[in-house]
């Protein structure tokens, strides 16, 4: 790559080298290069990905040890037991594989819905193609907000500024222009080249691709750049998995040592401990989590929310602050021109014409304001555009130069204060100009405030005569102030209901807008905010970092906010221990979207905003967000059900087996029976993601709490062990059962209690008052029937089962009834105590 001269050679020579031209590649050559590029791509085939996924189900060290043990068992002559154990392990692995496979394929479809498109010239035709379809020699047309999809050389540009922070780490935009630059210079100094993964901040450009796909600078750095930070839930799950695995391994070793101490057969003791470890380890946790997130993503798609990162679903459920802009979210987003008036507030057709010229002739990124002005449909015959200074978020204005009957001038439109500051004259009612003194500036400012307080978005309009054909930023001075553009954007009908629904979910709304404080105050009154706290960007700049955090938490509306301040506001709120979601769709929103715990964009947003987001809305509406939060909390609650049950069952069964090993002269359950219990009880767990969730569980944001999980594990583990020991007592001391008959009794009690606890723990209220999901109920009943059937089936001898007498079954049934009643009461008490503790913690935080 270094020996190729892409930045120094003349464009004509580059065209020849790439077999391209001003009209782009021929369609046939582009097709050939796309096929070649696909062959060189390092992406894995679907078969290879899915094969790895399948193998991963069996790479758990505990499972591998057990496989080795059962193979040794087969060699030693215990072939029937070995085949049974292997069959159970393969079946469990297949269940997890198909769950993750279906979830992964569903996510591929979702991502395909929001793939980025780029404007390409091929054979002189403008095409909209995805990043993967772009090849060397393509001609790209770039606008503000575009993510650059390949390494390119600039053919022509207009006020082009690019954010190259992904490659250089420098966040300030750099200016890019056409020309020839020495190849030996570093990337940061090649001002005539654009690099894949960077994005256009302002301006426009036509460029030619000289490197695409994996041949780009970004492609060579892809490994380091694709690393993503873990979400809070991902970290919690990882810590939980290691925590549970450690307990499982330690207790398994203790049980092995105890069995060997009491001179039980070595091989049986090792096999038993391994089977117990596999049975108790959370091996289904990845599959359960993936399926829960995938199911949540599918439901969110039905609510018009596309999930880009699965694990973010749980973070969505934790959100307690939503930061949003005003336009298109609170309001309709259909900006309309109310009027265009002169400096004295009178409607003026000439000023309307100038506003229309500025909006209709500009070639920057499409936006609602220009679209609204263009809808005026004013005839502009004879007016010819000669040059443009595109809008950017520093100047906050746009200038377009035009020629009419050999008379040249440029028109500037933008934020009122930013236009007023470059004016030194004002146009009077008879089209004469007068100096813009302080008194006139104050009158204009008062009129601006008056229009804003009426709820209008107010822009300033100015012009200046010129002699030359090209204009630059330095020319934006000594303009004549013409008047005001008054825009209105009505409140959405759904806004009030949506805000009320979000408040019911304990989510506070904070509006972050570039509009002035008066328009922001008017909007706040419309949406029912009582005495809102409004903070301006100017006020925030004067605060210390500590005061900024306090002020940000107290504010309801942030007005007159600069683009870079949005990110600071998000980070300040996070320092107050709030989980923040931010919704935006513009170039200036990308940093805030990326900084937020949950970044949200819309399907019609600029590329850089969509790329930064965790979620993409098909409709920009607060009601859609409420649906997304609801689904996030539902996915969180259903996943926590599995975690609670796994912890309780793991600790309880381990404790019970450890105790039983002290006084039983035989194994309390055979290895194949332990694995069979695990397989049967896993069946309903795989459908837990579709379970119903009680309304009261969705009111508050879900929070990962390892301390509460640990407490639950001890309380319910000991409760489970108590009933295990009661079962041991009746089976061994009362009925004098041993061997197969004892193992059958404990298999029934252990399997059924684990199935029952699922239906008890799935709700915080009494289980008879909460209806489970249909699929969960069906799979639970099937698992229960299989458990009852196996000891009575023709396979009973093969599995080591035998029922001594009916009294054994009646006793186990009574124990199970007592278990259900006490577990339900204990659960209600546990969650009430925990809720009180959380309330106290929240009160201290306030």
- pLDDT 10s digits, 420-443: 999 999 998 788 899 999 999 999
CATH code, domain with 161: 2.70.150.10
pLDDT reading at 632 higher than 60: yes
Is residue 63 domain-resident? no
Average pLDDT over residues 80-87: 62
63 within 8 A of 89, measured Cβ to Cβ: yes
pLDDT reading at 205 higher than 60: yes
Most confident of 7-11, 91-95, 144-148: 7-11
121 and 161 housed in the same domain: yes
CATH code, domain with 813: 1.20.1110.10
pLDDT of the residue at 224:
39
What does the angle CA 619 – CA 589 – CA 538 come to, to the nearest 5 degrees? 125
pLDDT of the residue at 562:
81
400 within 8 A of 388, measured Cβ to Cβ: yes
pLDDT reading at 56 higher than 50: yes
The more confidently predicted of residues 290 and 699 is 699
739 and 773 housed in the same domain: yes
218 and 240 housed in the same domain: no
Strands (E) located in 177-320: 193-194, 199-211, 305-307
Is residue 55 domain-resident? no
pLDDT band at 284 (very low <50, low <70, confident <90, very high): low
pLDDT band at 347 (very low <50, low <70, confident <90, very high): very high
Q: Which helix (H) or strand (E) holds 175?
A: strand 174-176
| Residue among 591, 628, 631 at smallest CA distance from 611 | 591
pLDDT of the residue at 382:
92
Q: Is 621 helix (H, G, I), strand (E, B) or coil?
A: coil
d(CA 88, CA 657): 21
Is residue 62 domain-resident? no
| Residue among 649, 654, 747, 674 at smallest CA distance from 268 | 674
Residue 408 Ramachandran class (φ > 0 left, ψ -120 to 50 alpha, else beta):
beta
pLDDT band at 221 (very low <50, low <70, confident <90, very high): low
Q: Which residues of 702-732 are buried (b: 16+ CB within 10 A; e: fewer)?
A: bebeeebbebbbebbbebbbebbebbbebbb
Q: How far does CA 248 lie from the centroid of its chain?
A: 33
557 and 480 housed in the same domain: no
pLDDT of the residue at 409:
96
d(CA 621, CA 22): 42
Is residue 704 domain-resident? yes
570 and 434 housed in the same domain: no
pLDDT of the residue at 92:
60
758 and 714 housed in the same domain: yes
Is residue 89 domain-resident? no
d(CA 396, CA 587): 13
Q: Which residues of 139-156 are buried (b: 16+ CB within 10 A; e: fewer)?
A: bbbbbbbbbbbbbbbbbe
Looking at 389-428, list the stretches that DSSP marks H as alpha helix, in order from N- to C-terminal side. Answer: 416-420
Average model confidence (pLDDT) for the chain?
82
Average pLDDT over residues 207-213: 91
Neighbouring CB atoms inside 10 A of 193's CB total 20
Which of 175, 204, 225 represents a domain boundary (last residue)? 225
CA-atom Rg of the chain in angstroms? 34
207, two tokens: 């460029």
pLDDT band at 820 (very low <50, low <70, confident <90, very high): very high
Most confident of 349-353, 575-579, 652-656: 349-353
d(CA 386, CA 578): 51
Residue 386: Cβ-neighbour burial (10 angstroms; 0-12, 13-18, 19+): middle
349 and 378 housed in the same domain: yes
d(CA 533, CA 542): 17
CA dihedral 269, 273, 279, 284 (to 10 degrees): -140
pLDDT band at 417 (very low <50, low <70, confident <90, very high): very high
pLDDT of the residue at 11:
92
pLDDT reading at 681 higher than 70: yes
Which stretch of 69-78, 377-386, 597-606, 810-819 has the lowest confidence by average pLDDT? 69-78
Neighbouring CB atoms inside 10 A of 437's CB total 11
561 and 648 housed in the same domain: no
pLDDT of the residue at 503:
86
| Residue among 475, 322, 302 at smallest CA distance from 387 | 475
pLDDT reading at 1 higher than 50: no
CATH code, domain with 501: 3.40.50.1000
| Residue among 648, 653, 685 at smallest CA distance from 283 | 685
d(CA 453, CA 442): 16
pLDDT of the residue at 2:
41
DSSP string computed for 464-522:
EE-SSS---GGG--SEEEEEEEEEE-PBPTTHHHHHHHHHHTT-EEEEE-SS-HHHHHH
pLDDT of the residue at 673:
82
452 within 8 A of 398, measured Cβ to Cβ: no
d(CA 188, CA 168): 7
Is residue 78 domain-resident? no
Average pLDDT over residues 101-127: 71
pLDDT of the residue at 275:
65
d(CA 358, CA 820): 74
> What are the catalytic residues?
325
| Residue among 281, 254, 259, 280 at smallest CA distance from 667 | 259
655 and 604 housed in the same domain: no
pLDDT reading at 128 higher than 70: yes
457 and 345 housed in the same domain: yes
As for how many domains the chain has, the answer is: 4
pLDDT of the residue at 349:
92
435, two tokens: 């100096």
Looking at 622-765, list the stretches that DSSP marks H as alpha helix, in order from N- to C-terminal side. Answer: 622-663, 671-685, 706-728, 739-761
d(CA 672, CA 678): 10
pTM (two decimals):
0.69
pLDDT band at 455 (very low <50, low <70, confident <90, very high): confident
The parent domain of residue 549 ranges over 305-332+492-618
467 and 347 housed in the same domain: yes
Is residue 770 domain-resident? yes
Which of 458, 487, 516 represents a domain boundary (last residue)? 487
pLDDT reading at 445 higher than 90: yes
- Backbone φ and ψ for 363, nearest 5 degrees, come out as -115, 15
- pLDDT 10s digits, 394-412: 788 999 999 998 899 999 9
CATH code, domain with 367: 3.40.1110.10
pLDDT reading at 223 higher than 50: no
- pLDDT 10s digits, 751-790: 999 899 989 999 999 999 999 989 999 999 999 999 999 9
435 and 511 housed in the same domain: no
d(CA 316, CA 357): 44
Q: How far does CA 312 lie from the centroid of its chain?
A: 4
pLDDT of the residue at 3:
44
d(CA 60, CA 129): 42
Average pLDDT over residues 457-465: 95
Strands (E) located in 373-435: 384-389, 397-404, 407-415, 423-427, 433-435
- CA torsion sign, 5 to 9 to 14 to 17? negative
Which stretch of 25-39, 232-246, 554-568, 800-814 has the lowest confidence by average pLDDT? 232-246
β-pair partners for 484: 341, 460
473 within 8 A of 596, measured Cβ to Cβ: no
Which of 487, 504, 537 represents a domain boundary (last residue)? 487
Is residue 559 domain-resident? yes
């Amino acid at each position: 790559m270094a020996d190729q001269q892409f930045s120094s050679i003349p464009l004509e020579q580059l065209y020849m080298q790439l077999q391209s031209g001003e009209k782009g590649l021929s369609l046939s050559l582009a097709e050939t290069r796309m096929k070649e590029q696909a062959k060189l791509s390092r992406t894995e085939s679907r078969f290879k990905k899915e094969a790895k996924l399948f193998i991963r189900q069996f790479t758990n060290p505990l499972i591998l040890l057990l496989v080795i043990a059962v193979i040794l068992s087969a060699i030693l002559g215990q072939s029937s037991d070995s085949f049974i154990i292997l069959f159970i392990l393969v079946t469990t692995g297949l269940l997890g594989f198909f769950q993750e496979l279906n979830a992964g394929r569903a996510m591929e479809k979702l991502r395909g819905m929001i793939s980025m498109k780029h404007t390409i010239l091929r054979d002189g035709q403008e095409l909209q193609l995805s990043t993967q379809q772009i090849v060397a020699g393509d001609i790209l047309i770039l606008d503000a907000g575009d993510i650059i999809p390949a390494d390119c050389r600039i053919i022509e540009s207009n006020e082009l500024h690019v954010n190259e922070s992904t490659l250089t780490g420098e966040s300030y935009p750099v200016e890019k222009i056409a020309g020839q630059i020495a190849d030996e210079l570093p990337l940061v100094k090649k001002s005539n080249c654009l690099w894949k993964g960077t994005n256009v901040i302002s301006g426009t450009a036509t460029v030619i691709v000289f490197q695409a796909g994996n041949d780009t600078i970004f492609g060579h750095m892809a490994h380091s750049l694709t690393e993503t930070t873990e979400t809070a839930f991902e970290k919690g799950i990882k810590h939980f998995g290691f925590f549970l695995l450690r307990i499982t391994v330690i207790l398994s070793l203790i049980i092995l040592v105890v069995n060997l101490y009491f001179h039980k057969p070595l091989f049986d003791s090792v096999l038993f401990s391994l089977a117990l470890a596999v049975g108790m380890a959370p091996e289904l946790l990845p599959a359960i989590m993936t399926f829960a997130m995938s199911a949540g993503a599918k439901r969110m798609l039905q609510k018009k929310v596309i999930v880009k990162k699965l694990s973010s679903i749980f973070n969505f459920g934790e959100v307690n602050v939503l930061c949003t802009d005003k336009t298109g979210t609170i309001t309709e987003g259909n900006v309309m021109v109310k009027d265009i008036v002169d400096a004295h507030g009178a409607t003026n057709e000439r000023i309307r014409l100038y506003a229309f010229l500025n909006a209709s002739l500009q070639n920057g990124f499409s936006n609602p304001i220009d679209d609204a002005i263009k809808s005026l449909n004013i005839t502009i015959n004879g007016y010819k555009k000669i040059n443009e200074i595109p809008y950017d978020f520093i100047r906050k204005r746009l200038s377009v130069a035009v020629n009419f009957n050999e008379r040249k001038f440029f028109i500037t439109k933008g934020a009122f204060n930013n236009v007023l500051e470059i004016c030194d004259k004002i146009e009077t009612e008879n089209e004469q100009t007068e100096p813009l003194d302080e008194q006139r500036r104050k009158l204009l400012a008062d009129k601006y405030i008056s229009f804003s307080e009426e709820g209008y978005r107010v822009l300033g309009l100015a012009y200046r005569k010129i002699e030359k054909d090209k204009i630059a930023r330095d020319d934006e001075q000594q303009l004549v102030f013409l008047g005001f553009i008054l825009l209105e954007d009505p409140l959405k009908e759904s806004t009030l209901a949506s805000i009320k629904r979000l408040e019911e979910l304990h989510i506070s709304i904070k509006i972050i807008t570039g509009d002035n404080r008066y328009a922001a105050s008017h909007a706040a009154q419309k949406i029912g905010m009582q005495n809102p706290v409004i903070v301006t960007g100017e006020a925030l700049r004067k605060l210390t970092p500590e005061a900024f955090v306090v002020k940000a938490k107290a504010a309801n509306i942030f007005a007159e906010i600069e683009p870079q301040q949005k990110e600071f506001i998000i980070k300040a709120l996070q320092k107050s221990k709030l989980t923040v979601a931010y919704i935006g769709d513009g170039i200036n929103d990308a940093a805030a979207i990326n900084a937020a715990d949950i970044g949200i964009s819309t399907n019609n947003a600029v590329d850089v905003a969509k790329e930064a987001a965790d979620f993409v809305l098909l409709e920009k509406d607060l009601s859609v967000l409420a649906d997304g939060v609801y689904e996030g909390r539902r996915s969180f609650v259903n996943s926590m059900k599995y975690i609670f049950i796994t912890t309780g069952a793991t600790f309880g069964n381990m404790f019970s087996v450890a105790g039983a090993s002290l006084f039983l002269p035989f194994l309390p359950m055979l290895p194949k029976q332990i694995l069979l219990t695990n397989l049967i009880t896993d069946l309903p767990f795989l459908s837990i993601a579709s379970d119903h969730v009680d309304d009261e569980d969705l009111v508050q944001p879900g929070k990962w709490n390892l301390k509460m999980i640990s407490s639950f594990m001890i309380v319910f583990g000991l409760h489970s062990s108590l009933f295990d020991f009661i079962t041991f007592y009746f089976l061994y001391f009362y009925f004098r059962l041993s061997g197969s008959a004892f193992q059958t009794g404990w298999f029934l009690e252990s399997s059924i209690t684990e199935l029952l606890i699922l239906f008890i723990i799935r709700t915080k209220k009494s289980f008879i008052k909460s209806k489970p999901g249909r699929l969960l109920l069906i799979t639970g009943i099937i698992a229960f029937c299989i458990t009852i059937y196996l000891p009575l089936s023709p396979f009973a001898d093969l599995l080591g089962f035998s029922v001594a007498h009916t009294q054994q079954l009646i006793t186990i049934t009574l124990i199970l009834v007592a278990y259900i009643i006490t577990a339900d009461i204990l659960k209600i008490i546990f969650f009430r105590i925990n809720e009180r503790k959380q309330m106290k913690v929240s009160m201290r935080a306030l």
